[in-house]
């Protein structure tokens, strides 16, 4: 990981290894003094460099580095669901009649 910027290294060092422990974005923002958008950008940059950072949602959710295939799949599930929802939203907007929707509001 010697190709990491100072901020990438700082965020990477906060990430739990394995899914037994997780950290949330709010905690990371406080510890590295960045806003949420910046933390998400750093996490995306780390992912693009090959760090298998995944997240789970819900009460026990959070971010961690996957260490096995089960953890990877656990972390990919919410991303796949989000992707499906986004694809559906795109289809709905593409198929919407640009005039008839006004009748719904009348």
The domain ranges of the chain are 6-98
Whether CATH 1.10.10.10 fits 6-98: yes
Helix (H) or strand (E) holding 103: helix 102-105
Q: Is 19 exposed, middle or buried (0-12, 13-18, 19+ CB in 10 A)?
A: buried
Q: What is the pTM of this model?
A: 0.81
CB atoms within 10 A of CB 47: 12
Question: For residue 1, is pLDDT > 90?
Answer: no
Per residue in 62-73, pLDDT (tens digit) is 999 999 999 999
pLDDT score recorded for residue 2: 59
pLDDT score recorded for residue 9: 96
């Amino acid at each position: 990981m010697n190709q990491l910027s100072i901020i990438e290294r700082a965020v990477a060092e906060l990430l739990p290894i394995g899914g037994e422990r997780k950290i949330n974005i709010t905690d990371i923002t406080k510890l590295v003094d960045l806003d949420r958008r910046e933390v998400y950008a750093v996490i995306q940059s780390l992912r693009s460099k090959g760090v298998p950072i995944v997240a789970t949602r819900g009460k026990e959710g959070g971010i961690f580095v996957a260490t096995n295939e089960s953890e990877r799949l656990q972390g990919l599930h919410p991303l796949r669901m989000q992707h499906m929802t986004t694809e559906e939203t795109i289809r709905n907007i593409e198929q919407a009649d640009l005039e008839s929707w006004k009748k719904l509001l009348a």
